[in-house]
A = this chain, B = another copy of it.
Amino acid sequence: MAYYIGVDIGGTNLKAGVVDGQGQIISESSVPTGADRPQDVVLSDILGAVMTSIAGAGISVKDVRAAGMGSPGMIDTEKGIVIYNNNLGWNDFHIGEKMSTALGIPARLENDADAAALGEVVAGCAKGAKSAMIITLGTGVGSGYVIDEKIFRGCEFGHMVIAYGGRKCTCGRHGCFEAYCSATGLINMTKEAIAEHPMSTLAEIAKTEGVVSGHTVFVAAEQGDAIAENIIDEYTGYLACGLANLINGLQPEVIGVGGGIGKQGERLLVPLREKVEREIYKGLPMPKIVSCTLGYKAGLIGAAMSVRDL
């Protein structure tokens, strides 16, 4: 049996696990990332979590073929370096080589969205797909593209402008896919509608919940609120536009929708598929559009699966 280590470095916690060749997690371990501490201390915690997961699997490090890691930020995969990460405050963090040396096995570092996409292809919503695009609708819009179970690195379409001169994005451009289709984008649309219609069911629900989230509008729509239905219609219109761009441009066989908004499942996907089908180039096959199924485990599994060739 071949075993691989997967490490998923998150803003809050980092997770390590032992994964088999089919993408099944054998054991896992999680510790706080504590990204503001010195790099050697963080690295020591990563190694600790890795060894804990190895012990938990009842195996030794000698039974492990290779270690794969996923980190947010700009990654140099060749060199195993986190070049830059704004949220974690990391610059030039050499993770790959140090992990490889300490564990005595080959190691590789990937972007976390890329790793998660590979996880969904090996063991999740896009299992068996020749090509799959995984779109994460969270604080931002992430994208990862996997062809023949290999990560197609650097495929990042969150900052693709779909509305020239439109909503200002955090990146400085106007009208990015992310500015409309992230959870943040949907929350902004919801807040604007609440301000315009303070007596609506939508506004009442937001008041009861005490906070506007990416789910508020779906709860209100379930109760028949027309304003909420309009927002969902508008939101899925922008989302379909971005996805149709990617389908016309790259023709993935499967599109997996994940992140906070992805959890809405069919409530999101039914109107989305209908709009995408109208928008894509005539003659192109309609890809399967599905919800991601692995949740937080996608990154860990995908990181481990990214080193099966090492």
Contact = CB atoms under 8 A, between A and B. Distances in A.
Interface string A59-85: 000000000000000100000000110
Interface in A274-291: 279, 281-283
A122 interface: no
A248 B159 contact: yes
Contacts of A245: 157, 159-161
Interface string A106-145: 0000000000000000000000000000000000000100
A279 B164 contact: no
- The A contact surface, by secondary structure, is loop
Given A163-B164, A164-B238, A241-B164, A157 B249 contact: yes
A157 B247 CA distance: 9
Interface of A: 74, 83-84, 143, 154-166, 171-173, 175, 238, 241, 244-245, 248-251, 279, 281-283
Given A74-B283, A159-B281, A161-B241, 12 more contacts: A155-B249, A157-B245, A157-B248, A157-B249, A159-B245, A159-B248, A160-B248, A161-B279, A163-B165, A164-B164, A164-B238, A171-B282
9 contacts: A74-B283, A154-B251, A156-B248, A159-B245, A159-B248, A159-B281, A160-B249, A161-B244, A162-B162
